[in-house]
Amino acid sequence: MKAYITFSSNSRIENDEKLKSFIQNSEGDFTTILLDENVCVVIKPLKKASYEQVRNIAGSIARDLRKRKIETALLEGAVLESGLSELNKGEAARAFIEGWELGSYQFLTYKSDAKASKTELEWVGCEDIQSFIVEGKIRAQAVSLSRDLMNEIPSKLNPETYPDVLSSAFKDTAAKVTVYRKAQLEAMEMNGVLEVCKGSKYEPAFVEISYCGDDTKPLVALVGKGVTFDTGGISLKSGRDISDMKMDMGGSAAVAGAMKLIVESKAKVNVVALIPIVENMPDRDSLIPSEVIRYKNGLNVQVGNTDAEGRLILADGLIRAGELKAKYIVDIATLTGAIGNALGSKLAGVFGNEDLSDVMKKIGAENGDHVWPMPLVDAYDSYLKSDYADFNNISAKGEAGSITAGLFLRRFVPKTAQWLHIDMAAVAQSSGDSGYYTKAATGFGARLLADFTKKISE
């Protein structure tokens, strides 16, 4: 069965007052009707139409038609252009296919009675915007990679298997994947990674994914937290169900998705992804509170709480970015619950260079990965004071948790680099189907990091 996508401005609808009234009074941004014996999806007029609105509507339509077991939906280029006349036709098509593909996303690996299904979108009369449609598909595939990584269970995605998954994802591409295992990490003095993973049955790893589309461009380093499961370690988490701690590698998934988007779009950038990978488990060999980690850059950190482990491994990533002489460094992590208290579940926080934060905010407003600039308050730096080490990995006060985490990381940023830190803890997963988001992993950050890398490389 085939469905046809149109807008309420369609002359057949405009000339039928009853039908027009029925559509206008239906809930949502669109309604599905039977018109002249054809299934039609009618999109209502959009107030201040935006590409994010287009993505959300497309995702919702794709999911709705799949539930109705519609095999194909047809969208004409002229219909799209007329219905979204205030938007650029090509960019609107890119947003539509991106939202469609992401709204169709399913993770059914462990659903024994479920079969993957999808309503295919057929474009008609769109020869002039094919490149936009292709780009939209690439963007959706990159975000889907991030979602797949985040949704996977820790027995399948752990410090020993994750590097292989990443190597496979970039096989036969222009990207180079380098994997460092435990013995190499010891030689490289990545002591944060080594210490955090001591309690796990898996050995830690560190993955570098490099891509150079233009060697005249400045090196951008994307550092992603890769904690494949976080129990809290000896500072054990409590809660009825902490299954979502398998998503504590969301930062690394964002970085992997960003690299996929950059590579597949053949971007003219010079970029490296740095991914420290650990599992934070309690065990007789685990890192314990009061221990001191000596980092390669000479800093000594008291471990006040083993559940503040993300910053301990990101520190190694930041040091590595300095060794590679990156001009721009962006780290991203599901780092603190405090960021959700500050910004809620629709925005990630971005800390660091104020000018770059503003650039990232604008990019996120356009592509859907929304961020809000947050301050690094120097007066709070003293909260990290340690009695016997250079500083502590947690604050001595129960306030400004996301800020003090950023202040901790700032101490490891090379002075020659411009740096941003993204705390995505509150936006890593969706509580239900909405727009082009499906319940579980959002894939946040893939588009944000890729678009940011392209922008600062112009």
Shared domain check, 391 and 282? yes
For 92, the token pair is: 């609107």
CB 273 within 8 A of CB 208: yes
**Residue range 156-171: mean pLDDT, rounded:** 98
CATH number, residue 79: 3.40.220.10
For the chain, the first-to-last Cα distance in angstroms comes to 46
Does residue 147 form part of some domain?
Answer: no
Which range among 41-50, 98-107, 253-262, 306-315 shows the weakest confidence by mean pLDDT? 41-50
Interatomic CA distance for residues 316 and 320, integer angstroms? 6
Find the domain containing 116 and state its range: 2-139
Q: Which pLDDT belongs to residue 37? A: 87
For 33, the token pair is: 């009707």
Does residue 412 form part of some domain?
Answer: yes
Shared domain check, 56 and 103? yes
Q: Own/partner pairs for 344-347, CB < 8 Å, 24+ apart?
A: 344/426, 345/426, 345/427, 345/431, 346/370, 346/427, 347/371, 347/372, 347/426, 347/427
Shared domain check, 186 and 54? no
Shared domain check, 402 and 266? yes
Which range among 12-16, 174-178, 346-350, 413-417 shows the weakest confidence by mean pLDDT? 12-16
Q: Which pLDDT belongs to residue 112? A: 94
Choosing from 217, 311, 320, 447, the catalytic residue is: 311
pLDDT digits (tens, 9 = 90+) for 260-292: 999 999 999 999 999 999 999 999 999 999 999
Shared domain check, 166 and 285? yes
pLDDT digits (tens, 9 = 90+) for 17-36: 999 999 999 999 999 999 88
94 belongs to the catalytic site: no
Shared domain check, 254 and 118? no
**Residue range 293-319: mean pLDDT, rounded:** 98
Shared domain check, 231 and 114? no
**Residue range 296-313: mean pLDDT, rounded:** 98
Average model confidence (pLDDT) for the chain? 97
**Residue range 313-329: mean pLDDT, rounded:** 98
**Total domain count, the chain:** 2
Does residue 152 form part of some domain?
Answer: no
Neighbours of 184 (CB within 10 A): 13
Shared domain check, 81 and 186? no
**Residue range 228-255: mean pLDDT, rounded:** 97
**Residue range 397-426: mean pLDDT, rounded:** 97
**Most distant pair of Cα atoms in the chain: their distance:** 79
Which range among 38-47, 187-196, 335-344 shows the weakest confidence by mean pLDDT? 38-47
Q: What would the 3-class secondary structure string for the chain be?
A: CEEEEEECCCHHHHCCHHHHHHHHCCCCCEEEEEECCEEEEEECCCCCCCHHHHHHHHHHHHHHHHHCCCCEEEEEHHHHHHHCCCCCHHHHHHHHHHHHHHHCCCCCCCCCCCCCCCCEEEEECCHHHHHHHHHHHHHHHHHHHHHHHHHCCCCCCCCCCHHHHHHHHCCCCCCEEEEECHHHHHHCCCHHHHHHHHHCCCCCEEEEEEEECCCCCCEEEEEECEEEEECCCCCCCCCCCCHHHHHCCHHHHHHHHHHHHHHHCCCCCEEEEEEEEEEECCCCCCCCCCCEEECCCCCEEECCCCCCCHHHHHHHHHHHHHHCCCCEEEEEECCCCHHHHHHCCCCEEEEECHHHHHHHHHHHHHHCCCEEECCCCHHHHHHHCCCCCCEECCCCCCCCHHHHHHHHHHCCCCCCCEEEEEECCCCCEECCCECCECCEECCCCHHHHHHHHHHHCC
Does residue 151 form part of some domain?
Answer: no
Q: Which pLDDT belongs to residue 168? A: 98
Does residue 148 form part of some domain?
Answer: no
Choosing from 237, 266, 385, 439, the catalytic residue is: 237
**Residue range 170-174: mean pLDDT, rounded:** 98
311 belongs to the catalytic site: yes
Does residue 192 form part of some domain?
Answer: yes
Shared domain check, 393 and 244? yes
| Domain final residue, candidates 110, 139, 168 | 139
Q: Is the model's pLDDT at 48 over the cut of 90?
A: no
